[in-house]
Amino acid sequence: MNRPPVSYHNQPVPPFTPYDVAKASLDHLGDQWAGATPGPWATTGHLRAWDKTPFTIGANPTGELFVRNDRLGDALPMPVRPTDGLDTVARAVAEIVGHLY
């Protein structure tokens, strides 16, 4: 069954912020990771790896979430949807971080 594309303005809004995702991802990254910190208005979440490498979790203008290694400047989109739960999104962060070193 083909469904028509959903407009940008009609996308579902998740009940959590990128900062919430950063906090939840600590459960999947291990105890060597520093705590999560929020960006302005919790529009981004920030993590610091065991070697002090900073990472940012944020959203592109299109609404797609990304994880960026701030030391290298490399970023990858997260393969999640706005309807995915917080734990699913947090697990995706833990998976992507390994590809950004």
88 assigned to some structural domain: yes
Residue 27 lies in a domain: yes
Could you tell me if residue 63 is inside a domain? yes
66: DSSP letter: E
Residue 82: which pLDDT band, with cuts at 50, 70 and 90?
Answer: confident
* Residue 7 pLDDT grade (very low, low, confident, very high; cuts 50, 70, 90): low
Residue range 30-53: average pLDDT? 93
Residue 45 resides in a domain = yes
Whole-number pLDDT of residue 8: 60
96 vs 3, 10, 29, CA distance in Å?
Answer: 29, 27, 11
- Provide the domain count of the chain: 1
Contact criterion met (CB below 8 Å) for 11 and 63: yes
Distance CA 25, CA 30 (A): 9
Q: Is residue 93 part of a domain?
A: yes
Lowest mean pLDDT among 59-63, 64-68, 83-87: 59-63
**Residues of the domain holding 28:** 14-100
Tell me if 8 is assigned to some domain. no
